[in-house]
Amino acid sequence: MIGRFWWAAAAAAVLGCGSYTVPGASDGGAYDGGTGYLIDASSYKFNPPVATVEQGRTVTWRNVDTIDHTVTSGSQGQPTGLFDAIVHPGDSFSYTFATPGSYPYFCRYHYRMGMSGTVTVPPPYGANP
């Protein structure tokens, strides 16, 4: 019995206790099965609020709430104009990040409640910064 327990513990340690990191994401977010990354809007927050994705990945924000939200690039009072979408309940908005950088975003309706996040796109491995 102890031998089986040790083997299970060793396998869990090697396999990360069932966790799996998908290439292109380092924050535990979810992929949609293709090259897309999913962020949910619900309860006045984005989940996950911070995402790190590979260059060329598409991020999709899904509104799984019962009220409208926006996905607006930049910060309140300083939108960048890169993207700005109203996302109704059950709908989604997608944007493909083609250039490395840090991309803050927020909900124009709920920014005072802290509804904001950041997508980070690091330079490709081996690229000169």
Distance (Å, whole) CA 89 – CA 41: 9
Low-confidence stretches of the chain (pLDDT beneath 50)? 1-28
What pLDDT was estimated at residue 67? Answer: 98
What pLDDT was estimated at residue 124? Answer: 87
Which domains does the chain possess? 21-121 (2.60.40.420)
* pLDDT, tens only, 25-51: 444 456 666 668 999 999 999 999 999
pTM of the entire predicted model: 0.74
Burial class (CB in 10 A: 0-12, 13-18, 19+), 124: exposed
DSSP helix, strand, coil percent of the chain (3-state; round to 5): 15, 45, 45
What pLDDT was estimated at residue 48? Answer: 95
What pLDDT was estimated at residue 66? Answer: 97
